[in-house]
Structure 1
Amino acid sequence: MLDPRPQSQIITSGTGSGKTECFMVPVLEDLYRETQQTNSSLTGVRALFLYPLNALINSQKERLSAWTTHFNGDIRFCLYNGNTPNDLKAQDRQRQKNQPQEVLSRKLMRDNPAPILVTNGTMLEYMLVRQADAPIIQQSQGKLRWIVLDEAHTYIGSQAAELALQLRRVMQAFDVKPEDIRFIATSATIAGAEAETQLKQYLARLANVGVEQVAVIGGDALFRAYPK
């Protein structure tokens, strides 16, 4: 995934088999390399994670916090949805100091955008048109290089068409080209070479990239029986 020439991937495996780790580890490695090159913390969105449900967004909080805590605020993330407060209350300010890896309010995200933005399609749409969120995009232009589409198989018909158009608007707003982005799509099931070809075409059309730029990574969960 970290090849100098951006390659998009479809990760297909069963629930609980480690799909998230397949893209999260390369994303964090990429961001860590940048902090080492610049010798500074990162400002501006580099990785956009799109989830169809708020429950899925919230489920990533503990994992992201654990993986980014050792970077001491150089690599941060923000869960940006309808539950994200506009500003912090007095009792939450100490928690923000104790958790520099997570941006806890919209104001802080607008002032200093985290490199990892976790959101949903509706909030992303608001971000693209809402003047209050313009600083996030302005400080992120030219920096976006990862877009993760979780549960990609749920986007069918008109939903897939709307997502494709939204991704094109994201490219324009963030001032990047599709061929420079690593698109990652996760899917719970896949079977056979024919399905693999169809999935490549599916992501290529969503992302507006060539089919040759898309690869499929498949796997199965391995459960070991331990002696009692």
Structure 2
Amino acid sequence: MKDPVGSFEAIKDNFIRYVKTAFKTKFDSVESEREVLLNEDKVLFRQPWIEPLPEYLSSGKTIDSLTANDLPGLNEVHAKTFKGLVSRGLVKGYELHSHQSQMLKQALSGKNCIITSGTGSGKTESFLLPLFAQLSKELSTWSQPDVISQNVDNWWNGNLSMREIVDAENDFTLAKGVQQRGHETRPQAMRAMILYPMNALVEDQMTRLRIALDSDPVREWFENNTVGNKITFGRYNGTTPVAGKLFKLNEQGNREVNTSKLNTLRRELQSIERNQSKVEEYIIQEREKGNDVDDIELKSFFQRLDGSEMRCRFDMQVAPPDILISNFSMLSIMLMRDIDGPLFEKTRSWLDCSDLAEDQRENEKSNRIFHLIIDELHLYRGTQGTEIAYLLKLVLKRLGLHPNHPQLKILASSASLEPGDERSLQYISDFFGFLGVDDVKDKFEIITGELSPVDPLSNKDAPLPTKPFIEICKTYVTAKQQTDDSLFSGACISAGNLLSQAFDFGVTVSTVEDFLNLLLHPKLKLRERFFDASSVVEGRK
């Protein structure tokens, strides 16, 4: 977002315009007085706060520069697979934060981990990296899938009969020829369950997973490196199409295909496909106009039906996704419904290595790890926390696991747990069902985010002149937010030369890029100035 304050003003004005239009009166004095009130802070809105995010300590390593010491338990093939996958989407060329690399190493060493760094510190990547590392170990061993049926990725638009779509002989599930993953030959089970307190956070996670596992660069990598396999993920909540069953009882009490439910599913999938097509058309149009478009980010806001993301409940019920994303309310319902039973039963069977010969099972179990990932762990307290703690125990029991089971890995994020605090450790023990504080100390690693040190400003550091920046803001508005406008570039060049003169840089600014580079000049101490303005020292702001 280039103009957060301007965006706030536009949203505020739109709401006020709605109130004035929907509840208009014939009295001018009332209208004027109401408009004054609506434009006051604490009536309809609060003035925006801008919070600069702190800079966290870097590990000094990118994904590609991680060594065998950073990736315990991964051999050379596993490490190559992991780096290739992660560098295409989840974490690209930038250096990992210290807490991210630490959590990756500790989790691969056998510890359950909780990350407690602040907002914007990459907590999501912190718990996804260990999961992706474990999945990479499996990915390199998965067998090649069979040929995909020609109807798999378009059956909702075709003329297939009900019997060709629904298998009435197999408990009215989707027929193998239209199942999204009916061609796979590898074991299908949940390798991870990621649970969020609310659907808004689920949606945010979906965009990240689409970039990490279903963006064009990742699709290309899968195609070239995994003999046709993909790591799958699926959102399972109230918005996932379609609730219910694919059969109904007729007047004689016999089962028959539920045509209404099937047609609803068709419409839902057709709508998703249209949205996907509109995004691709928009990207093409914008590029034809010469505009820069981040196609990977834009596509991540919309589901694609032919990739790694599972498209409907019926597909997930016959082939559980490797990563299932849901919330606790939905999980509670899933545990009670027969139709959702296969997600748990197939996962338990996979953990038991039932697909292997008996003499191979014990050795393989150490490679089959179920990840239970909890976001915002600190929120689950009181009565609600107790209910959710019992719910998790039911999930583990359903899967044949227990808190200290060697095939269970717990990863979580929290904003308030402290590694040395006895109450925090007792809370973890109670919530997950461990045997007390000492057990938690032995099994868990609580990882805090360490801030990158910032030198304080001294009294000798001259304040920044404000006039150049005010002029930039004014011309930005005048140029209608077009950064390539000559007025805007002229203001940036003028501001740059004023700063260069004021701080004796001896640099001539002739382009906007020169101005941006000047702002990063170490003598300007822009980072230190932001930190100083946002710090509280001895009770003073």
Q: TM-score, normalised by structure 2?
A: 0.39
Report whether the alignment pairs 1:46 with 2:202: no
Tell me which of 219, 228, 240 is aligned to 1:84: 240
Counterpart code for 2:446: V
Aligned to 2:308: 101
Aligned to 2:399: 174
Contact 2:116/2:416 (CA < 8 Å) preserved in 1? yes
- How is 1:114-193 mapped onto 2 (pairs within 5 angstroms)? 114-141=321-348, 142-143=350-351, 145-180=370-405, 181-190=408-417, 193=420
Aligned to 2:427: 202
Superposed CA deviations along residues 95-136 of structure 1, whole A, max 9, x for unmatched, are: 677542101211111121101010000110111111111111
Q: Distance in 2 between matches of 1:59 and 1:226?
A: 33
Aligned to 1:219: 449
For the residue of structure 2 that corresponds to 1:178, the secondary structure is coil
Aligned to 1:62: 207
Which one scores higher on RCO, CA 8 angstroms, separation ≥ 6? 1
Q: Distance in 2 between matches of 1:64 and 1:48?
A: 13
Contact 1:7/1:214 (CA < 8 Å) preserved in 2? yes
Aligned to 1:112: 319
Which has the larger share of strand?
A: 1
Contact 1:10/1:199 (CA < 8 Å) preserved in 2? no
Q: Distance in 2 between matches of 1:101 and 1:26?
A: 19
For the residue of structure 2 that corresponds to 1:37, the secondary structure is coil
Higher gyration radius (CA): 2
Q: Distance in 2 between matches of 1:57 and 1:175?
A: 26
Structure 1: segments with no counterpart, 5+ residues: none
For the residue of structure 2 that corresponds to 1:189, the secondary structure is coil
Deviates more, 1:38-47 or 1:55-64: 38-47
CA positional deviation for 1:58 = 0.4
Aligned to 2:108: 2
Structure 2: segments with no counterpart, 5+ residues: 1-106, 145-185, 224-228, 243-264, 277-302, 352-368, 455-515, 520-541
Counterpart code for 2:120: G
Q: Distance in 2 between matches of 1:162 and 1:147?
A: 17
Aligned to 2:123: 19
For the residue of structure 1 that corresponds to 2:141, the secondary structure is helix
Q: Distance in 1 between matches of 2:391 and 2:235?
A: 19
Paired residues, what number? 224
CA positional deviation for 1:198 = 2.7
Q: Distance in 2 between matches of 1:116 and 1:226?
A: 42
**Over the residues paired in the alignment, what is the CA RMSD in angstroms?**
2.6
Contact 1:27/1:146 (CA < 8 Å) preserved in 2? yes
Counterpart code for 1:214: F
